A and B are shown apart, each in its own frame.
Chain A
Amino acid sequence: MTLRPDNPIPFSESTPIREFVESADQAMVVVDGTGEIALANGLAERLFGYTRTELVGLPVDVLVPERIRQRHGDLRREYSAHPRLRQMGGGTGFQGMRKGGGEFPAEISLSPLETTEGTYVLTAIRDVTASRRADYLASHFMAVVESTHDAIIGRDLDGTVISWNPGAELLFGYTEAEMCGQTMSTLDAPGRDTSSCDQSIGADPVETQDTVRVHKDGNLVDVSITNSPIVGMDGTLRGSSIIARDISDRRKAERLKDGFLSLVSHELRTPLSAIVAHVELLLDEDLLSEHRQRFVEVVHRNSLRLERLVGDLLFVAQLESADLTVTMTDVDIVTIAKDAVEAAAPRAGGSGVDLRFEPGGHPVRMVGDAGRLGQAVDNLISNAIKYSPDGGAVCVRVLPDAAECIIEVQDEGVGIAFDEQEHLFERFYRAPTAASLHVQGIGLGLLIVKKIVDAHGGHVSVRSEPGSGATFRMMLPLDPTVRRSTPSAVPALARSSAR
Chain B
Amino acid sequence: MRRPVALVVDDEADIRSVITFVLDAAGFEVHEESDGEAGLVTAGEVHPDVVLLDWMMPRMSGVEACRELRRDTDQDSTVVILLTAKAQESDIALGFAAGAQDYIVKPFSPRELVGRVQALLAGTG
Contact = CB atoms under 8 A, between A and B. Distances in A.
Given A281-B21, A436-B58, A266 B85 contact: yes
A438 B14 contact: no
B85 A273 contact: yes
Given A281-B22, A438-B56, A270 B110 contact: no
> Size range of the interface on B?
20 to 34
A138 B85 CA distance: 59
B85 A274 contact: no
A270 B21 contact: no
Contacts, number: 61
Contacts of A275: 107
Given A278-B18, A302-B14, A270 B106 contact: yes
A77 interface: no
Nearest to A439: B58
A298 interface: yes
A262 B21 CA distance: 29
B58 A277 contact: no
A259 B18 CA distance: 29
A132 interface: no
Interface in B47-102: 56-59, 85-87
A273 B21 contact: no
A484 interface: no
A277 B86 CA distance: 17
A266 B56 contact: yes
A273 to B, nearest CB: 4
Interface residues of A, number: 22
Given A274-B18, A438-B11, A280 B111 contact: yes
Interface string A433-463: 0001110000000000000000000000000
A281 B56 contact: no
B97 to A, nearest CB: 19
A295 to B, nearest CB: 8
A437 B58 contact: yes
Most buried by A among B17, B85, B108, B110: B85
B15 interface: yes
A478 B62 CA distance: 50
A180 interface: no
A277 B110 contact: yes
Interface in A272-288: 272-278, 280-281
Interface in B5-51: 11-12, 14-15, 17-19, 21-22
B12 A270 contact: yes
Contacts of A298: 14, 17-18
A291 interface: yes
B21 A265 contact: no
Contacts of B108: 273, 276-277
Interface of B: 11-12, 14-15, 17-19, 21-22, 56-59, 85-87, 106-111
Of all A-B residue pairs in the complex, the 5 with the closest CB atoms, nearest first, are A269-B85, A276-B107, A273-B106, A274-B14, A273-B107
11 contacts: A266-B86, A269-B106, A272-B106, A273-B15, A277-B18, A277-B110, A298-B14, A302-B14, A438-B11, A438-B56, A438-B57
